Amino acid sequence: MLENEEQASVEQINDVINEENYNTRPRRTNAGTGVDRLQMSFDGKAYTHGKERQFLIVDEDYNKDKDMNTYYSIACDVMFTQMSAKKGVKMFGERAIAALLKEYNQMDKGPMPGKPVFGAVDYHTLSVQEKKEALEAVNLIKEKRDGKIKGRTCANGSKQRQYLKDGENVYSPTCATESLMTTLIIDALEKRDVAIFDVPGAFLQTEMPKDKNVLLVIRDEFVDILCEVNPQYKEHVRILNGKKNLYVMILRTIYGCIESAMLWYNLYTETLKRMGFILNPYDRCVANKFINGKQCTIVFHVDDNKLSHADEKVVTEIIKEISMILAISL
């Protein structure tokens, strides 16, 4: 809140936010990699002004319907943009169907040639227990901030918890908030070049362990979508209780499987180790490597990464090396 004010109107807050040179950390895009780059600095007015800037908006008219509708609209337009595929098709029509076709095509082809995500299964070879343990496919549509429509297919892995063996570890570590904030401060103080990137289709990079037979059941109209992508699945479709059902074997980890995050973590940390990075003993999602006499730091949360070094060329080369090892495009 503003100094000496118990309440601050939206207009007062906006006046402060719109001060000249407010954005002290401009974002730029590297033309060579397309990765977001940040220029860290403590030089802006947010730090040099005597009074702190707070973003707590206390609006005396917050209880008016028109204001609540405005806040509700902002929240929904920015945050709640994911919906079921059926609702997405109703809302976006052919655009949603095209997005689902693209998603199922990726599942069929896999992250690289010869590495499919699904494998066909003969329904008659499945036991009653295998059918019982099969995970339900979850199909979603997301409207991105740029207006593009994205399809997402994952598994409802909650069922897997009841079949875990005693002592079986399937959970992945994630970076601590303290680690992220500390490295951001170091980036600013040392004026490092910073890149933020994610690994596309990260989980699909990892194979499901050979000793695990994880089945996925796809139902209704989504069976038709997969069969349109790959007609070879048609012979395995069965009508059960008046609905189309298709059982497939999960060959590569997908979102929703309980062990997916752990398997991706193991693959990614092994990749970083081969590149010469050393994992921080206090946070296993922070890794460091000295390059040209300066420390290079990578902090990651599943497939989202923050990479920093004093030399932006080093940052660019590290990103290229990661993409080459994982055979992806960053």
- Would you place residue 163 in the very low, low, confident or very high pLDDT band (cuts 50, 70, 90)? confident
- The 8-class DSSP code of residue 202 comes to T
pLDDT of residue 157: 87
For 140, the token pair is 């979603």
User: Mind listing the pLDDT tens digit for each residue in 82-124?
Assistant: 889 999 999 999 999 999 999 999 899 887 778 899 999 999 9
Half-sphere exposure in the Cβ direction for 136 (13 Å, CA): 8
CA-CA-CA-CA dihedral for 198, 200, 203, 207, to nearest 10: -130
pLDDT of residue 24: 40
pLDDT of residue 34: 55
Q: At what angle do helices 221-229 and 94-109 cross, to 10 degrees?
A: 60
Q: Go through 275-310 and write b for each residue having 16 or more CB atoms within 10 A of its CB, e for each that does not.
A: eebeebeebbbbbbbebeeeebbbbbbbbebbbbbb
Per-range mean pLDDT, top range of 11-15, 90-94, 306-310, 324-328: 306-310
- Would you place residue 40 in the very low, low, confident or very high pLDDT band (cuts 50, 70, 90)? low
Q: Look at residue 106 and give its three-state secondary structure.
A: helix
DSSP string computed for 231-292: GGGGGG-EEETTEEEEEEEE-B--TT-TTHHHHHHHHHHHHHHHTT-EEETTEEEEEEEEET
More confident residue, 87 or 56: 87
pTM above 0.75, yes or no: no
Q: Rounded mean pLDDT of 193-204?
A: 91
Question: What does the alpha-carbon distance between residue 231 and residue 217 come to, in Å, rounded to a whole number?
Answer: 17
pLDDT of residue 66: 53
User: Mind listing the pLDDT tens digit for each residue in 57-71?
Assistant: 444 454 455 566 666
- Would you place residue 39 in the very low, low, confident or very high pLDDT band (cuts 50, 70, 90)? low
* DSSP element (H, E) containing 10: helix 10-17
Contact between 233 and 245 under an 8 Å Cβ cutoff? The reply is no
- Would you place residue 9 in the very low, low, confident or very high pLDDT band (cuts 50, 70, 90)? very low
User: Mind listing the pLDDT tens digit for each residue in 133-148?
Assistant: 999 999 999 888 778 8
> Under 8 Å CB-to-CB from 63, ≥6 apart: which residues?
none
